[in-house]
Structure 1
Amino acid sequence: MTSVTQMKCACEPCLCVVSLEDAIQKDGKFYCSQACAEGHKTMKGCAHSGCGC
């Protein structure tokens, strides 16, 4: 059996795949950055190159 160690950021338009140990967890979902975790209320994008969220 293999365990999941990475998953797509829970931010819908975000393209990032995040390591579960590095992810920011909020409401049971995993995000690649604080900006995505807050729903981009105060921060635009996630600062990862090539991602347009």
Structure 2
Amino acid sequence: MTAATVTQMKCACSSCVCIVDLSDAIQKDGKYYCSDACANGHPDGAGCSHHGCECHS
């Protein structure tokens, strides 16, 4: 059996639809995020600004 290595996963922000490459992700509290806005809980309602994603919470 061959072991698989995970290199991408969904952003840890629950309202975000982004898939993040773990080598480029922002890691906070053991979770991986696509942007500072997601990692910091969307201060002032700022979204991640990635095309097609409307996360704000």
Task: Identify which range, 42-51 or 21-30, moves more after superposition.
Answer: 42-51
CA distance in 2, matches of 1:25, 1:46: 15
Bigger radius of gyration among the two: 2
Q: CA RMSD in A?
A: 1.0
Deviations 1:2-38 (A, max 9, x none): 1000000000000000000000000000000000000
Structure 2 counterparts to residues 5-24 of structure 1, below 5 A: 5-24=7-26
The count of aligned residue pairs is 53
2:51 aligned with 1:49, yes or no?
yes
Query: Does the CA contact (< 8 Å) of 1:35 and 1:42 recur in 2?
Result: no
* Runs of 4+, deviation exceeding 4 Å: none
Unaligned runs of 5+ in 2: none
Greater helix percent: which structure?
2
Aligned counterparts of 1:41 and 1:27: Cα–Cα separation in 2: 17
* TM-score computed with the length of structure 1 as normaliser: 0.94
Amino acid corresponding to residue 22 of structure 1 in structure 2: D
* 1:7/1:17 contact within 8 Å kept: yes
> TM-score w.r.t. structure 2 length?
0.88
